[in-house]
Structure 1
Amino acid sequence: MDSSLLSHRSRVFERADPYAVSTYVNQHVGQHHIRLPRKGLPEASLDHRKFASLDLCRISYGGEVRVLSHALESVFHLQILLQGHCMWRRGRAERLLGPGELLLINPDEPVDLAYSADCEKFILKLPARLLDAVCDEQRWQRPSEGVRFIHSHYQLLALEGFAGLLTMVCHEAEAFDSLQRVQEHYSQIVASKLLTLLQTNVSRESLGSQAVTFERIAEYIERNLKQDIGSEQLARQASMSLRSLYGLFERHAGTTPKHYIRQQKLERIHRSLSDPDCSVRNITELALEYGFVHLGRFSESYKALFGELPSDTLKRRP
């Protein structure tokens, strides 16, 4: 994971003055100030890429440093500790973060972080307007004060598929021929993934309070195929236990909710690739729209279902 999140191709500073690095971060990633030990001057390094509306940053200060900010105001920070340790403080609460832990900072939250000398972080900056736009597009209800994540700390590997998604985003950011449209798709997927994986104050579309049938659940899935719909989320929307949901799908579809949703996504993509009136310029973009971030697995699943690769379907268009 460590080597997959930006490389030296994105290097901006190496063994540099920490205050110069801090000034650059203020311009591109988020307002803050740093406090260094009185003795010595650590050497800092920074990798940075602008990616659609996101900023990707990999930073190490080379020495013990305290990072402070009153609030990030209009951006969210997702920080992943790659090595070393970082002490997070908020009021009387504090937590020592280790490698593989993720910290999510809301725009209105003060920042008080103490880095160990060997600390290195990956930081993803998401503008609040991106999360608002995803909610509005999907008709998810958000409070007037904006989106807010309920919890601050997570284990990255516990967030299904998110580590792989970040790896793909970083590879795409460093690609020589990265297209703006592809970057925007990735950015929306990252925002949608966070809103569905983590607990927030957003209320997603409900299936309703009346008795839920398989047909109504299938209609809900059809309307939201481009979203990352998990079995637990679907059970909550249907106001039933996970066991009852699995039983419903076994009786009506002969499969699990996860396999059913994947098949519906693949069938929608197949129809798009087969339809000469449907504008499809890039199979990768189409796969990403439906949440297939592992393109090799996508091609394998597609071929297993339809007996040919997606590119073959596209070539056979009339």
Structure 2
Amino acid sequence: MTFSLSRFDQEFMDVSGFEISNFLKNKSFADHRLIQRSKGCPNASSLRYKAFGPLQIAEYTSGNATEVRIPSLDHAYHLQIVLSGDGVCAFDGHSLPMQAGDSIMMTPGTEYTLGYSSDCIQLSVRIPLEFLHQSAREFGYFTAGGPIRFLPRSVNVLNGGPIRHLLRDILEFDCTESSERAQLYYAKLLCNGILQSHESGICLNDRVNPSEHRHIAQIRNYVLDHLTEDIGIGDLVELCRISRKSLYNLFDKETGQTPSTYIRQLKLETIYTELSGDDRNIRNVTEVALKYGFTNLGRFSAQYREHIGELPSETLRRQSH
């Protein structure tokens, strides 16, 4: 199966690589610096560009050996795919060679250097940070604050995997004949496919049963956005614009819990994700507990063991080994 951006909004043919670079900068696609490493034809570059719901998609080639330096992605992830030719991606002390079909997920806050051969065709999908996080939550993933960090390894998306057919459909999608709702749906499915195929430090939540009720979903997203804050019942009442009694009745019916228990479990799940992740800067359980508002450490340990099934110190100890 081959990939090609066959339905697009704008196309540039036989232009310089710097014209394409400036176009993408003006679209806020990514801040970057383009360096041409070979002296070929000065106007051998091409670009196809498409806006798809919250996503931006660019398929481009420079016609020359090229290096792209990205100081730091700003509030967005990039799914970077080599369609033909070869390249290399360097970041955080890693250097990943990439061939046709290989893809990586580029994370906000990291500096990247991308190198491409003169015959290389690249496909890049820009995904807003908040949209990826929101999609992850809707599909049952827990994040531990900050950007989701993907592991430094490439994944071949042309040979198979959960995003192969979905990405092809998006590239062939006629946005003029579809609703924004349909584009949003496909974009969320792509995010879920990426989370399945590209390894990261987040995990699926299998302890809290998700509710389809709009107020529960609204509260869940609000709590996950304010995990380190002290969230009161009044905050939830104001958020949903319902009475305190209606709020308690809703939680009892939908979750079998009180709002406070629900909030605490979301925080405990997030702490579990953080303690069992690969962050080597975590010194002890106490600093993580205090970060999420658990000031009584004895009670915190008991609540954690009751919900997670082990002590927080055991989770951290297992991660360190």
SS at match of 2:105: strand
Q: Does 1:153 align with 2:126?
A: no
1:75 corresponds in structure 2 to 76
Amino acid at match of 1:178: S
C-alpha contact (below 8 Å) 1:65/1:115 kept by paired residues? yes
State the SS of the aligned residue for 1:96: strand
Question: Partner residue of 1:65?
Answer: 66
Deviation at 1:10, TM superposition (A): 4.4
What residue is the counterpart of 2:110 in the other structure? 109
Task: Quote the residue 1:171 is aligned against.
Answer: 172
Alignment match, 1:198: 198
CA distance in 1, matches of 2:206, 2:7: 45
Matched, 1:26 2:25: yes
Cα gap change, 1:38/1:146 in structure 2, threshold over 3 Å: closer, same or farther? closer
Closer, same or farther: CA 138–86 of 1 in aligned 2, 3 Å: closer
Deviations 1:50-76 (A, max 9, x none): 001001110101111110011112111
One-letter amino acid of the structure 2 residue matched with residue 131 of structure 1: L
Runs of 4+ in 1 over 6 A off after TM superposition: none
Q: 8 Å contact 1:42–1:63 — kept in the other structure?
A: no
CA positional deviation for 1:108:
1.6
Identity level (%): 20
Q: What are the superposed Cα offsets for residues 152-210 of structure 1, whole Å, 9 maximum, x if unpaired?
A: 311214652311000111122x35312111001111111122223332222321248xx
Q: Distance in 2 between matches of 1:38 and 1:116?
A: 9
Q: Which residue of 1 aligns with 2:55?
A: 54
Partner of 1:16: 15
CA distance in 1, matches of 2:90, 2:140: 35
User: 1:141 corresponds to which letter in structure 2?
Assistant: F
Deviation by residue 1:293-314 (Cα, 9 ceiling, x = unmatched): xxxxxxxxxxxxxxxxxxxxxx
Extract unaligned runs of 5+ from structure 2. Answer: 213-321
Matches within 5 A, 1:265-304: none
Q: Distance in 1 between matches of 2:63 and 2:179?
A: 34
Counterpart Cα distance in 2 of 1:159 and 1:198 = 13
Q: 1:223: Cα distance to partner?
A: 6.7
Against the structure 1 CA distance between its residues 179 and 90, is the aligned structure 2 distance closer, same or farther, given a 3 Å change threshold?
A: same
In the superposition, the TM-score normalised over structure 1's length comes to 0.60
Which digits, 9 at most, give the CA deviation of each residue in 1:259-307, with x for residues without a partner? xxxxxxxxxxxxxxxxxxxxxxxxxxxxxxxxxxxxxxxxxxxxxxxxx
Specify the SS of the correspondent of 1:130. Answer: helix
- CA gap of 1:113–1:176, structure 2 versus 1, over 3 A, is same
Alpha-carbon distance in structure 2 between the residues aligned to 1:9 and 1:67: 23
CA distance in 2, matches of 1:104, 1:164: 18
SS in structure 2 at match of 1:176:
helix
User: Using the alignment, how far apart are the partners of 2:132 and 2:102 within structure 1?
Assistant: 22
TM-score, reference length from structure 2 = 0.60
Cα drift, residue 42 of structure 1: 4.5
Structure 1 regions of 5+ residues with no counterpart?
Answer: 209-219, 225-318
> Match for 2:31: what amino acid?
Q
For the aligned residue pairs, the C-alpha RMSD in angstroms reads 2.4
What is the CA distance between 1:151 and its match in structure 2? 3.4
**CA offset digits 1:116-137 (Å, max 9, x no partner):** 1101011111111111212343
Q: CA deviation at 1:144?
A: 1.6
- The answer to whether residue 154 in structure 2 is matched with residue 133 in structure 1 is no
